[in-house]
Structure 1
Amino acid sequence: MKFSLQKIKREAPYDFEDTVNVDELERMENDIRNITDVNVKGDVSVRSETYTFRYTIKGTMTLPCARTLVDVPYEFSVQAIDQFTTSEYQAQNDEDIHFIDQEVLDLMPYIKENILLEVPLRVYSDEATMDNIVSEGSGWDLLQEDEHLDLKAKHEEEEQEKVDPRLSSLKKFFDDKKD
């Protein structure tokens, strides 16, 4: 979403609405497995050299369930306010105002940032049952509690039967005493 600053200044207050593709967020290191095109709607007001963007971002992202790792659709709506200025002095004195040194403003990095800030730490699937749980992955398996206890008992039994090769001659010592 690119905006001409001259057009905004000429038509202020300037309203905008668009559907944008942000699927590159899926390839970043986060939990977003899929994200639909998002709807961005808002307005821009201009005061002196400051452009204030007030906009809403709506869409749906797919995240993994914290319990079962199944896909969970998560609808989001983000209210955002971003301020930009063409005055370098004003941008240096206020960290909430972004400096613009061009005639065209690209709002996409700010849209993506606001979406990433909206990703929740955990989501849970309402339909999470034992039937749709991901039961294995690369280097791991999901076990039921009784399977785990059986495997643990078997492992402990094997550990007890193993004899350290350095102590194998002592095992013969006790066999000789019985004779």
Structure 2
Amino acid sequence: MKFSLQKIKRESPYEFEETVNVDELERMDNDIRKIPDVKVKGNVSVKQDIYTFQYSIKGTMTLPCARTLVDVPYEFDIQAFDQFTDVDYKVKEDEEIHFIDQEVLDLLPYIKENILLEVPIRVYSDEATMDNIISEGNGWDLLQEEDHEELKANHEEEEQEKVDPRLSSLKNFFEDKND
């Protein structure tokens, strides 16, 4: 999604609406399993060499359920606000303003960044029941609480009966003295 700065200056306030492909987010190391094209709609205004973008990003991403790992569709509607300038000293005065060193501004990286910031920590499936939870995997098993308590008790019992091999010769120390 690229904008010519000259065109924005001529037609300010400049309005835009476009469908953008952001499927690159699926290949990045995050929880997004699938994200179809998103709709971006907004406007740009120019004031004192600062280009102010106010836009919304709407779409749906597929994320894993925190309980069952099944796919969960997550709809989002992000309201974004970004400022750009091609004047050096204005960037140094305000950290929120991004510097543009070209005549064309690509808004796509900022759209992706806003989407990544919107990814929730956890989502839960409405159909999450004990029947469709994955109960075992490579090197792990899911236990019910009763099974866990029983396993823990057995393990503690074994630990108490076990004698440290370094101290095994002392086991008979008091028995020899009594004889």
Fold shared per TM-score above 0.5: yes
Structure 1 residue 114, shift from structure 2 partner:
0.9
Alignment partners' CA distance in 1, 2:24 and 2:98: 23
Query: Aligned AA for 1:8?
Result: I
The Cα offsets for residues 146-177 of structure 1, whole Å up to 9 and x where unpaired, read as 22122222222332333322333455678889
Q: CA deviation at 1:54?
A: 1.2
| TM-score, scaled relative to structure 1 | 0.85
Aligned to 1:94: 94
Q: Deviations over 1:14-62 (max 9, x none)?
A: 2222222222223333332322221111121222422111111011112
Instruction: Map residues 6-155 of structure 1 onto 2, 5 A cutoff.
Output: 6-155=6-155
Partner residue, 2:4: 4
Q: Match of 1:44, as an amino acid? A: V
> Is there any run of 5+ residues in structure 1 with no aligned partner, and where?
none
Corresponding residue for residue 162 of structure 1: 162
Task: Please give the root-mean-square deviation of Cα atoms over the aligned residues, in Å.
Answer: 2.5
Q: Distance in 1 between matches of 2:10 and 2:108?
A: 22
Q: Percent identity?
A: 80
- The TM-score, its normalising length taken from structure 2, stands at 0.85
What are structure 2's unaligned runs of at least 5 residues? none
Contact 1:70 1:134 in 2 (8 A): no
Aligned partners of 1:68 and 1:128 also within 8 Å: yes
Note the C-alpha offset of 1:130. 0.4
- Whole-angstrom distance in 2 between the partners of 1:133 and 1:43: 45
SS in structure 1 opposite 2:124? coil
